[in-house]
């Protein structure tokens, strides 16, 4: 069938298989062009099908030549419904890795569950013996706990509601968006889903089963961003979860010190993803940030970020590059004083009349459509494709 984007507000309900494949191909090409990275050789990526997790897996496989096991939660196509982008991305990754002679195994299921942990560990034991790197890159709306209860994560403020300038997608006007404040239950739920508890359970399970090597490295991703978005992010519900993630990194490193396993949090750059599009205020910040970073020729997407993370911050030098706050930062260019002061100057004066001139709305939408395999150069969208 001919697959077209069906965008409803901030979500696209279709994905293009050939476009997704192209997206993966482009990331592989970038990785190869940027040269070999001398790093881990057997890598487990949890949340490996889109965004930062997919870029981590591509960097591990095509940059470091690593065998990879990826875990993801994606839907196959049914009837006239296309599969999710992560399903097509994973298929494209697996094919490309096999062609290159690289070991690859993708396990589609709920990473929070014991069943999937057991399946992954059995696969490691059977095929690889042990892994020497674990990337934990889940972004999930909910988690089913061992007793069957479901907890949800939310994107809300803590304390007062927050109102700021906001981009109305419907008519490209700049108005105001308000984010409501969370209940105690919503805060706790977000920490349970997006904090570090499950990451720690993964590492415990791998250690107990002798499926992780001595001196292995494990990574999870965080975001801080500018003061402007603190109420909705850094000081909001998700910020609490990210605080827990950092505490979990420290706890993992301490607990596994006998094996020399080290857990790190890497603070990454803000990018368009399915989650960030849904948060009021954030898309406007992103479109201004893109404009400023592109003008300064320092704009990066997920693959550029992960390449720099693995190459320069983790494996490039004698020691992992850790900042004063105990974390790795590849948001360093986003947070540069000259970048942030220009973004804030624009933020002060941006309005409906000057929006298209002062922000990179096209760049935002390009990234949005690319996530679902649309608007990719070199893809003929008028032809029938097998979904």
The least distance separating ligand NAI from the CB of residue 162, rounded to whole angstroms, comes to 18
Q: What is the DSSP letter of 228?
A: G
Give me the residues that bind ligand NAI (CB under 6 A), please.
47-53, 71-74, 86, 110-112, 137-140, 221-223, 268, 270-271, 273-276
The least distance separating ligand NAI from the CB of residue 100, rounded to whole angstroms, comes to 21
The least distance separating ligand NAI from the CB of residue 383, rounded to whole angstroms, comes to 27
The least distance separating ligand NAI from the CB of residue 384, rounded to whole angstroms, comes to 27
Q: Among residues 93 and 223, whose Cβ is nearest to ligand NAI?
A: 223
Q: For residue 105, list its beta bridge partners.
A: 69
d(CA 171, CA 109): 38
The least distance separating ligand NAI from the CB of residue 86, rounded to whole angstroms, comes to 5
**Residue found by looking up tokens 């399946």 in the block:** 119
d(CA 176, CA 203): 43
Extract the tokens encoding 190.
């977000």
Q: Among residues 110 and 332, whose Cβ is nearest to ligand NAI?
A: 110
The yes-or-no answer on residue 233 being catalytic is yes
Segments of the chain assigned E as strands:
7-8, 11-12, 42-46, 67-72, 104-108, 131-136, 142-144, 150-152, 162-168, 173-179, 212-222, 262-267, 328-329
> What is the full DSSP assignment across 146-185?
TTS-EEE----BSSS-EEEEEEETTTTEEEEEEEPBPPHH
Q: Among residues 164 and 268, whose Cβ is nearest to ligand NAI?
A: 268
Q: Which of 52, 223, 233, 285 is catalytic?
A: 233
Q: Among residues 77 and 259, whose Cβ is nearest to ligand NAI?
A: 77
Extract the tokens encoding 3.
């697959």
Q: What angle do CA 307, 313, 314 make, to 5 degrees?
A: 90
Interhelix angle 114-123/197-208, nearest 10 degrees: 40
Q: Among residues 213 and 329, whose Cβ is nearest to ligand NAI?
A: 329
Q: What is the DSSP letter of 278?
A: G
Q: What number of other Cβ atoms are within 10 A of residue 129's Cβ?
A: 11
Q: What number of other Cβ atoms are within 10 A of residue 294's Cβ?
A: 12
The least distance separating ligand NAI from the CB of residue 103, rounded to whole angstroms, comes to 19
Which residue lies nearest ligand NAI, judged by its C-beta? 51
d(CA 290, CA 283): 10
Extract the tokens encoding 196.
């570090």
Q: Among residues 87 and 213, whose Cβ is nearest to ligand NAI?
A: 87
Residues serving a catalytic function are 233
């Amino acid at each position: 069938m001919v697959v077209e984007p069906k965008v409803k507000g901030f979500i696209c309900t279709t994905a293009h298989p050939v476009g997704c494949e192209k997206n993966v191909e482009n990331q592989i090409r970038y990785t190869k062009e940027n040269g070999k990275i001398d790093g881990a050789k057997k890598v487990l990526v949890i949340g490996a099908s889109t965004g930062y997790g997919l870029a981590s897996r591509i960097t591990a496989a095509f940059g470091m030549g690593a065998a990879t096991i990826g875990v993801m939660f994606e839907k196959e196509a049914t009837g006239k419904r296309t599969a999710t982008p992560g399903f097509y991305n994973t298929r494209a990754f697996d094919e490309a890795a096999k062609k290159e002679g690289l070991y690859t195994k993708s396990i589609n299921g709920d990473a929070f569950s014991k069943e999937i942990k057991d399946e992954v560990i059995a696969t490691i034991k059977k095929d690889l013996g042990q892994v020497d790197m674990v990337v934990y890159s889940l972004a999930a709306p909910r988690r089913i706990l061992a007793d069957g209860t479901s907890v949800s994560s939310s994107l809300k403020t803590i304390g007062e509601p927050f109102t700021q300038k906001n981009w109305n997608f419907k008519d490209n006007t700049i108005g105001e968006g308000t984010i409501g404040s969370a209940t105690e239950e919503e805060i706790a739920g977000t920490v349970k889903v997006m904090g570090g508890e499950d990451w720690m359970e993964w590492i415990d399970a791998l250690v107990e089963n002798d499926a992780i090597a001595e001196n292995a490295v494990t990574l999870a991703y965080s975001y801080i961003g500018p003061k402007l978005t603190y109420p909705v992010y850094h000081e909001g519900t998700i910020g609490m979860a990210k605080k827990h993630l950092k505490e979990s990194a420290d706890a993992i490193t301490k607990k596994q010190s006998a094996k020399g396993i080290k857990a790190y949090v890497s603070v990454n750059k803000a990018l368009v993803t399915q989650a960030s599009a849904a948060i009021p205020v954030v898309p406007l910040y992103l479109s201004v940030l893109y404009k400023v970073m592109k003008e300064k020729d320092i704009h990066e997407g997920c693959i550029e970020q992960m390449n720099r993370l693995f190459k320069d911050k983790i494996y490039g030098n004698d020691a992992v590059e850790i900042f004063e706050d105990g974390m790795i930062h590849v948001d360093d260019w986003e947070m540069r004083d000259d970048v942030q002061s220009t973004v804030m100057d624009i933020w002060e004066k941006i309005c409906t009349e000057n929006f298209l001139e002062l922000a990179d709305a096209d760049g935002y939408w390009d990234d949005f459509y690319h996530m679902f395999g649309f608007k990719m150069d070199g893809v003929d969208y008028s032809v029938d494709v097998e979904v």
